[in-house]
Amino acid sequence: MTRREALLALLGLIGSACSGGGSSLAPTATAPPPTLAPTVPPTAPPPPVPTTTAAARTLAPTVAPTVTAAPSATPTAAQVLAGVDVLMREQRQLLRGRRVGLITNPTGRARGGGSTIDVLYGEPSWRLVALFSPEHGIRAEAAAGQSVDSAIDPRTGLPIYSLYGDTTRPTPAMLRDLDVLVYDIQDVGARVYTYTSTLLEAMRASAEHGVQIVVLDRPNPIGGVEVEGTVLDPRFTSFVGAAPIAMRYGMTIGELGRYFNVELHVGADLQVVPLQGWQRSMWFDETGLTWVNPSPNLRSVSAAGVYPGTVLFEGTSLSEGRGTDRPFEWIGAPGLNAAEWASRLNSPGLPGARFSAAPRTPDSSKHAGRLCQGVQIELADRSRVQPMALGVTMLALCPAPVEFNASSFDRLAGTDQVRLNLQLGRSASDIVASWQPDLERFTRTRAGYLLY
């Protein structure tokens, strides 16, 4: 038996135990040093970690995001427990007596509504000593692509180390006073969302410096059954595509960490605190958890459902809806024949989606202040939607010429073949068929890392 097969067999045994709702943890992988270099080189050491005392730990909430209860897709929503709730109920021994660093943002919340920062900071069994922020910042207020600065949290006095600025990987100085790094961020189920890249970089730093990493698992908001889209060609590796996985990968963030650890030879001391009560077919609004916008322009479960396809429009001359009330659910441009576009899109009967012409005037980003004609996407049957196929079909059937920013588009698509085939006038069905062999291989490999 090869070393990789042995690791997969061990993961399978652990996954079987975990699927029954128990407290199984991912194994520690032993593998060669990482083969991929960090996306951005580290910078100078961060500010020193201030000391805190137990008496200072009665706080107002550290992060107070605007949240909305997700609409129920079933008469009675399930009562899913996120990893942070399972940690506090059953697995406190993982952190007991240790100095903890936490990678999080406003999506890191316990079921009772408190932020993971407050939950961990208020627990006397361990000591939370540092916070780490991903893209959009610790409060998810920074715009897409905007650099995030390190800072001091005004509530706790803890340092906030940015992982989306001068460095994307925790530096030795950031990890110097830590025994364990904890990750608690809600992803959106799409490869291009940079929170998965932050996890991978944190795992690499943990492996390099001998710091354990604990992932508090969260549901995949668009379900864990469907796997769809291109698999990243390593030539197009970037921070919006850090690993050769499918655009819609159909895994929780904890499962993805397990995949990274073995398939990318990270070799981190990784533990996953699993969900309880989650089933792979569930979308976020079927979990009973509260929806918190994971970034300023992803504002609903329905937007997350089309995002793995409509995000491609970021690399084109058309607006992807930033600056409107329906980012990623409305696509348009000045002078576009939106009625014709909607008619073309509705004719082939794209599974699960309906399109209607709708004008909008973005107040920021592309075409800001200009009246745009575009199409609005509604999910009639979200279980049938294939978002990347939808995005490619929209591009192929657009009644106006589409200009591509080749570098940006190819990084998002994970390949140059989608753009090149669109420019050659090939049909959307042919383009979708072209990525199926790679997708099937990924799907088979992925199966060995599923926990649920």
CATH no. of 301-415: 3.90.1150.140
Structure tokens at 296: 């300023």
Measured N-to-C along each axis, helices 387-396 and 301-310 cross at an angle, to the nearest 10 degrees, of: 50
Average pLDDT for residues 209-229, to the nearest whole number? 98
Q: What is the pLDDT of residue 401?
A: 96
Residues 6+ apart with CB under 8 A from 357: 338, 339, 341, 342, 373, 374, 375, 376
Least confident segment among 130-144, 237-251, 323-337: 130-144
Contact 365, 395 (CB under 8 A): no
The pLDDT value given to residue 71? 40
Higher-confidence position of 306 and 17: 306
pLDDT (0 to 100) of residue 434: 98
Residue 141 has a pLDDT of 66
Site of tokens 């926990």? 451
Q: What is the CATH number of domain 8-294?
A: 3.40.50.12170
Q: Give the Å distances, CA to CA, from 200 to 34, 207, 368, 394.
A: 11, 11, 35, 32
Average pLDDT, the chain: 87
Q: Which structure tokens are listed for 30?
A: 């032993």
Residue 54: predicted pLDDT: 34
Cα–Cα distance for residue pair 19/17, rounded to 1 Å: 6
* Phi, psi dihedral angles at 181 (to 5 degrees): -110, 130
The full set of domain ranges for the chain reads 8-294, 301-415
98 Cβ partners below 8 Å, 6+ apart?
Answer: 126, 127, 179, 180
- Provide, rounded to the nearest whole percent, the portion of the chain with pLDDT above 70: 82
Q: Do domains 8-294 and 301-415 have the same CATH topology?
A: no
> What pLDDT is stored for residue 32 in this prediction?
36
Of residues 84 and 78, more confidence is placed in: 84
Contact 266, 34 (CB under 8 A): yes
pLDDT at 414 exceeding the cut of 70 = yes
pTM of the model: 0.83
Grade residue 118 by pLDDT with cuts at 50, 70 and 90.
very high
Structure confidence at residue 2 as a pLDDT band (50, 70, 90): low
Confidence of residue 132 (pLDDT cuts 50, 70, 90): very high
